[in-house]
Amino acid sequence: MTPSENMTMSDSAAKRIAYMRDKEANPKLMLRVTVLGGGCSGFKYELDFDDKINADDVTIEKNGSVVVTDESSLPLLQNAIVDYEQTLMGSAFKIKNPNAASGCGCGKSFSVKM
């Protein structure tokens, strides 16, 4: 487990992770971001809460909140920002990924720049 310089998280994402950690009464709770093949654009994000760190995981921390990803997802998340947005339409974690050439309407699927 090493800190990642490749990915960052916004203040709002850190606050939401802290809120969920407190709500679940689990001080080890982290947001896990994984990139998988599939989805309507070639790759898709999978976001889950987890309290375990695997041997090939990389973490980033902000204000005591942690985002974790695996080494194979990391190249596709280079310079990405994990954000949390609240709008009139709802609230959700969003990945602002400069490596994404295009995405689909769901916001969970993307293709990479060549």
Q: Are 59 and 7 in contact (CB under 8 A)?
A: no
Which residue type sits at 79?
A: N
Q: Could you report the per-residue pLDDT of 5-36, keeping only the tens digit for each?
A: 589 999 999 999 999 999 999 999 999 999 98
Name which of 61, 30, 62, 63 is nearest 48 in CA terms.
30
By DSSP bridging, strand 109-112 and strand 100-103 are antiparallel
Domains of the chain: 7-112 (2.60.300.12)
- pTM for this one? 0.84
Which residue from 88, 92, 91, 54 is spatially nearest to 73, judged by alpha carbons? 54
Of 87, 40, 57, 86, the closest CA to residue 48 belongs to: 57
